[in-house]
Amino acid sequence: MKFVNTCTILYFWFYVCCVSAFSTTDKKIPKDDLTDIKNRLGSLEQMLGQLITNNSSLDVLRLPGSARREEHVAFSAYKNQTQSGLNKRHIIKFEGTVLNLGHHYHPEDGIFIVPVTGVYLFHWTINNNGYYTYTNILVGGKVISTTTTSVVSGNWNSGSALVIVTVQKDEHVWIQTCCGSGNEVYGNTLGQENYFQSTFSGTLLFSVV
Between CA 131 and CA 67 the distance in angstroms is 50
Split into its structural domains, the chain has a count of 2
pLDDT digits (tens, 9 = 90+) for 113-150: 999 999 999 999 998 876 778 899 999 999 999 888 87
- C-alpha separations of 172 from 29, 176, 187 in Å: 62, 12, 23
The per-residue pLDDT for 94 is: 95
Mean pLDDT of 69-97: 89
pLDDT digits (tens, 9 = 90+) for 144-191: 998 888 766 666 778 899 999 999 999 999 999 988 777 888 887 555
Do the domain assignments include residue 68?
Answer: no
27, 61, 95 - which closes a domain: 61
Q: By C-alpha distance, which of 115, 119, 108 is closest to 73?
A: 115
pLDDT digits (tens, 9 = 90+) for 46-71: 665 666 556 544 444 444 443 445 67
Whether residue 3 is predicted with pLDDT greater than 60 in this model: the reply is no
The per-residue pLDDT for 28 is: 64
95 and 195: one domain? yes
Is the pTM higher than 0.75? Answer: no
Provide φ and ψ at 38, rounded to 5°: -60, -40
Burial-class residue 106 by CB neighbours within 10 Å (0-12, 13-18, 19+): middle
61, 91, 109 - which closes a domain: 61
Range of the domain at 143: 74-207
The per-residue pLDDT for 19 is: 46
Between CA 139 and CA 197 the distance in angstroms is 23
Q: What is the CATH number of the domain that holds 78?
A: 2.60.120.40
144 and 192: one domain? yes
Cβ(139)–Cβ(173) below 8 Å: yes
Do the domain assignments include residue 84?
Answer: yes
